[in-house]
Amino acid sequence: MDLSVSIGSLTLANPLIAASGCFGYGVEYADVVDLSTLGGVAVKGLFLAEREGHPPPRIVETPAGMLNAIGLQGIGVHRFVREKLPELRDRRAVVFVNICGTTVDEYCEIARILSDHEGVAAIELNISCPNIKEGGITFGCDLNGTHNVVSAVRKVTPLPVIPKLTPNVTNVASFARAAEAAGADAVSLVNTFLAMAIDVHTRRPKLTNIVGGLSGPAIRPIAVRMVYECRQAVKLPIIGMGGIMTADDVLEFMIAGATAVQVGTANFVDPFIWKKILDGLRDYMTSHNIERLSSMTGTIDTTKRETAWISS
Amino acid sequence: MPIDVDATVIANTRLSDDYSVLALEAPDVASLAEPGQFVMIKPSAGVDPLLRRPFSIFEILRDANGSPTGISLLNKRIGIGTALLYEATPGSRLGCLGPLGRPFEPVSPPAEAWMVAGGVGLAPFVTLSEALSARGTKSRLFYGARKSSDLTHVDLFERLGVEAVLATEDGSRGMHGFVTAALEAALRATPQSQEIRLYACGPTPMMRAVAKLAAAHGRRCDVSLEQVMGCGLGGCYSCVVLTHTGGGAPHFVRSCIDGPVFDATRILWDALVH
């Protein structure tokens, strides 16, 4: 039984990657999960400099989901390579470093620094954070901006470059195409959906930032649809995410076209979820006689419609 | 290292229309717990509500031989999750992740321990009182609530040798007014030569007032802060509190792993949400 998947030149032991922003810098979770057993660990988004983020409340629960507006609090790339990367390397984690910038130059500078250090497997370009005013999403909501930042970072690093796309656009597939044309090695999608929650008694927003990003099972069907659309638009590997809680959810994304997946909000609810999902994937492979999990990617059968669920 | 157990509800004792004590079978969590630590409870099995809620470990439950068998939680019905827990029936199961967080440091004699609790903020002080009692530390509990029926488990503290000083806002039991007035009187009456450590948990305005009194009387005060918390393990960065950094710009730290117990002088009280 082979659970491994390939993202360009990178081979992952399995398709499960801890999603950026949902797993600290990885080291926080070393007590509860052997980091080397994960396909990868996408660490919290890093700017060049340290950032404090937004004042709390930073999260609020919503039906089958949550909003967050953390504001990318972080230690900056310099402290990351000094204080966190050695431990991640010792623990044999496959490290995806999520990077953010207010300018193309900042993205390139961070990518250069990371390229000079051992233990970084890939760079995920955060061009999709909905919670900060400057940078990030301004690249992710503009086709030229996406192309420019991806091609610039592509030129300064030998590491795989994986832009993380926002769902807050009319047509995500066009952004996947822009990323592919600019030389990306893969795309990850989706980041959170811009959303808000209001207290009807006081008429006040529940988050300090007023708006925040919606994640969790509530967004999963939309994310699956977006992966499916991107699969048809590009040849690049897709790392799919959005509300994955179970092995079935992973399989749904893979069948829609994802090569690997990220698990985020579910890790908050259950930090021991990784083994449960991997066991579920193995059970599925046994019962469906699947030898290689990677053979599931993009195997959706649209020639027929499933109806068995109707009586469920 | 925290563990996650599918804990069976042993009992759910209603104290009032809002408060209940939920007893959970969780021997492994109970035997690892230190004073003032917390657990993350999943109030329902499904995805709505989705997240766990932080709860101080209220009591360590033990069998006849004294071996830990479980924990109890002091629950106050406020929102969706706490309402589900108020209604939880014996035999049902709840996800229980823990123990988590930086514990209280119990002081030893000749120092005295003065605990200051407001309402549901009583929760972390049973485990602290047990640790203080084991050390033979002279302890007091300043315990305030809105009304008499909100004061609970006072006898439990008294059995542990803790002197209880009670206050209610409506005057229905103990001193009439805020518990901080009783604390201030006691601080004034105690010579500086007597070392005292204050421990506070309750509504933010109360903790802030306690911190101010402690500073005015030159006493160390540790506060246990309750913040909106997503994961309990340092992953989500939602439970942050703004802290002084000794000259530098204030810094947000995670109350789940850097707290929930903080030296009160670290906290920027103006920035704290309440």
Q: How many CA atoms lie within 13 A of B191 on its CB side?
A: 2
Residue A202 is assigned to a structural domain of this protein? no
Domain B112-271, CATH among 3.30.565.10, 3.50.50.60, 3.40.50.80, 3.40.50.1370: 3.40.50.80
List the domain boundaries for chain B: 3-100, 112-271
Q: What is the pLDDT along chain B (274 residues), one digit of tens a residue?
A: 899 999 999 999 999 998 999 999 999 999 999 999 999 999 998 999 999 999 999 999 999 999 999 999 999 999 999 999 999 999 999 999 999 999 999 999 999 999 999 999 999 999 999 999 999 999 999 999 999 988 999 999 999 999 999 999 999 999 999 999 999 999 999 999 999 999 999 999 999 999 999 999 999 999 999 899 999 999 999 999 999 998 889 999 999 999 999 999 999 999 887 6
Q: Given a cut of 90, is residue A12 above it in pLDDT?
A: yes
| Residues in B 178-207 with any Cβ partner in A closer than 8 A | none
Q: Which two tokens stand for residue B240?
A: 């942050």
pTM of the model: 0.95
Q: Which residue has the higher pLDDT, A179 or A130?
A: A179
Give the per-residue SS3 of chain B: CCEEEEEEEEEEEECCCCEEEEEEECHHHHHHCCCCCEEEEECCCCCCCCCCEEEECCEEEECCCCCEEEEEEEEECCCHHHHHHHHCCCCCEEEEEEEECECCCCCCCCCEEEEEEEHHHHCCHHHHHHHHHHHCCCEEEEEEECCHHHCCCHHHHHHCCCEEEEEECCCCCCEECCHHHHHHHHHHHCCCCCCEEEEEECCHHHHHHHHHHHHHCCCEEEEECCCCCCCCCCCCCCCEEEECCCCCCCEEEECCCCCEEEEHHHECHHHCCC
Residue A99 maps to a domain = yes
**Tens digit of each residue's pLDDT (9 = 90 or more) over A16-61:** 999 999 999 999 999 999 999 999 999 999 999 999 999 999 999 9
d(CA A120, CA B9): 45
- Contacts A22 to B, Cβ<8 Å: 235-236
- Of A47 and A311, the structure prediction assigns the larger pLDDT to A47
By Cβ distance, the residue of A53, A60, A64 closest to B237 is A53
Residues in CB range of B108: below 8 A, 6 or more apart: B135, B136, B137
**Rounded average pLDDT over A138-154:** 93
Instruction: Give the count of beta carbons closer than 10 Å to the beta carbon of residue A276.
Output: 14
A131: pLDDT strictly greater than 70: no
Whether A200 is covered by a domain: the verdict is no
pLDDT at A67 over 80: yes
Is residue A137 domain-resident? yes
Whole-angstrom Cα distance, residue A289 to residue B189?
Answer: 78
Is A221 within 8 Å of chain B by CB?
no
Q: Which domain holds residue A302?
A: 5-54+72-193+216-311
In a domain, A293, yes or no: yes
Active site residues of A: 129
**Contact between chains at A22 and B47 (C-beta distance less than 8 A):** no
Q: How far apart are CA B84 and CA B52, in angstroms?
A: 12
Contact A44, A22 (CB under 8 A): no
B194 CB burial (10 A radius; 0-12, 13-18, 19+) = exposed
Within 251-290 of A, beta carbons closer than 8 Å to B belong to 265, 267-272
Total of domains in chain A: 1
Residue B78 touches partner A, C-beta closer than 8 Å? no
pLDDT at A309: 87
Question: Which residues of chain A make contact with B251, given a CB cutoff of 8 A?
Answer: 52
Structure confidence at residue A138 (pLDDT)? 75
The highest-level CATH class for domain B3-100 is: mainly beta
Q: Is residue A113 assigned to a domain?
A: yes
Note the pLDDT of residue A312: 76
Chain A: give the shortest CA distance to residue B136, in Å.
34
Domain membership of residue A205 (yes or no) is no
Q: Which chain B residue's Cα is nearest to A74?
A: B237
Q: Using CB atoms, pick whichever of B51, B233, B239 lies closest to residue A271.
A: B233
Quick one: average pLDDT of A238-243? 98
User: Is B29's Cβ below 8 Å from some Cβ in A?
Assistant: no
pLDDT at B274: 61
Residues in chain B within 8 Å Cβ distance of A29: 233, 235
Q: What is the pLDDT of residue A134?
A: 63
User: Nearest chain A Cα to B236, which residue?
Assistant: A22
Domain annotation covers residue A264: yes
* Amino acid B262: pLDDT: 98
Q: Kindly report the CATH number assigned to the domain that includes residue A301.
A: 3.20.20.70
pLDDT digits (tens, 9 = 90+) for A76-105: 999 999 999 999 999 999 999 999 999 999
**Per-residue pLDDT, A243:** 98
Check CB contact under 8 Å for A271 and B97: yes
- Count residue pairs from A and B with Cβ separation < 8 A: 97
Contact A209/B at CB under 8 A: no
**Interface predicted TM-score (ipTM):** 0.94
Q: Do B252 and A60 touch (CB under 8 A)?
A: no
Q: Is B97 on the interface with A (CB under 8 A)?
A: yes
Per-residue pLDDT band at A135 (split at 50, 70, 90): low
